[in-house]
Amino acid sequence: MPAKMSALRATRQILQTIAGHGWRSHSSKPAQSAHVGKPGAGFSFELTDEQKEFQATARKFALEEIIPVAAQYDRTGEYPLPLIKRAWELGLINSHIPESCGGLGLGSFEACLITEELAYGCTGVQTAIEANSLGQMPVIIAGNEQQQKKYLGRMTEEPMMCAYCVTEPGAGSDVAGIKTKAEKKGDEYIINGQKMWITNGGKANWYFLLARTNPDPNVPASKAFTGFIVEADSPGIQVGRKEINMGQRCSDTRGIVFEDVRVPKENVLIAEGAGFKIAMGAFDKTRPPVAAGAVGLAKRALDEATKYALERKTFGKPIVEHQAVSFLLAEMAMKVELARMAYQRAAWEVDVGRRNTYYASIAKAFAGDIANQVATDAVQIFGGNGFNTEYPVEKLMRDAKIYQIYEGTAQIQRMIIAREHVGKFKA
C-alpha cells in the first residue's frame, strides 16, 4: 500500500510540471466520464480531474520514454523491463488492483484511458503491461480475500508480472477443447498439460491456469474446468523459448509445459468446475482495454500519416492538399473516433456494474479491425517510405495484426455479438 500510494503521489507531482506542455490533441471532445456519481447527471463526455491526471501521465510517459526506444526494442525483441518498472512507479500498471490489496482500485474506464496512451507509444510494451491485467482479472473477480491479498498484494509491493495460461497448441478459440488436466490427490491437484502463446510466460511470478478436472467428455464446459493460481517456480514447470512474432516483438510470448505440477487446493478459484465461467468473465473485463490499445495504435498511425502528408510534396504541393489523401485521412479519423467511443461504452458498462459482453465484443472487434485498416492506410500515405523500417508506420502495421487474433479473434467476437443481438429478440 505505501509503495503504491507513493507512486500515485509521484504521479501527481509530475503532473504539476507538465501543464502547458502542449500535448497532442486527443479528441475534439473529451472522453466520457467513467462514473455517474449524481442521479440525473445525464450523458457526459467530460473526464474527472483524476482521469485527466492519469491520462496526461500516461501520455507524457509514452511520448518521452516509450517512443524514443520503441524501435530498438522492436529490433532486438528485448523485454522492456526498465519501462515496466517505470510504469509501475507512475501507477500506470496494475491500476485496477483493489485498495484492500494495496492497489489504486481504478475502474475499467481509467484503465482504458491509460492503455490507449501507452499503446500510442508502443503496443509491444502495452501488451506486456496489459497481460498483467488479464492474468490478474480471474483473481480480482473470483478470488477470495486470502488469494487476493497473497497474489495481488505482492504485485503492489514491487514490479512483478503474471500471466493468463489458457490457450493450448490445439485449443485457441475453442477454449472447451483444452486438454490440460488437473487430478485431485489429497489436498493437492496434479496438473499435466501444455499451454501456448502465453504472454509474459517467461517473466511471470504466477499464472492463472485453466485445466480440465472432470474427465467425462459429455460434461459441459461450464462444469468441466477449474481455475487455479499456480506459482511460476513450481517444480515441473518448463518454460519454452521466446517466440519471435510478426509484431509486438518486445512482448514475451512462450509455450509452457506442466508436468506433475502440484497445486494446493487453496489455490482453486471459487470451486472445482467454476473455471470456464471465470475465464470467460475475465474477457468481458479485459476486452475494453485491448480495444483501447488498438485505438492507441490507430491514433498513432493517423498522427504519423497526417504529419507526413503535411510535409511531403508532389506535383508542387503537400500531398495533404490532394483530395485522395485528405479523404483517406478523414476516413482514418472517423474510424479512430468511433472505435474510441466503442471501448469507452464497454468500459463504462463495467464500471456501472452491468454485464458488458455485447459491448466488449463490439469494441474489441471494431477497434481491432480499424487498427489494421488505419495502419495499412498510413503505410499507403507514406508510399515507398512506409515500406521501410526507417519510418514508423511499417512497425505499426505489423503490430496491429494481433489485435484481430488475441483475446478472442475477430470472428469469435462476431459470433458473440450475433448471439447477444439475436438473444434480445428471443427473450
By CB neighbour count within 10 A (0-12 exposed, 13-18 middle, 19+ buried), where does 403 fall? buried
Backbone angles phi, psi at 296, to 5 degrees: -60, -40
User: What cell does 379 get?
Assistant: 503505410
Radius of gyration of the chain (CA): 22
321 counts as catalytic: no
Question: Which one from 183, 188, 407, 420 is the annotated catalytic residue?
Answer: 407
User: What cell does 198 get?
Assistant: 502465453
User: What cell does 328 get?
Assistant: 483517406
Indicate which residues carry an active-site annotation: 407
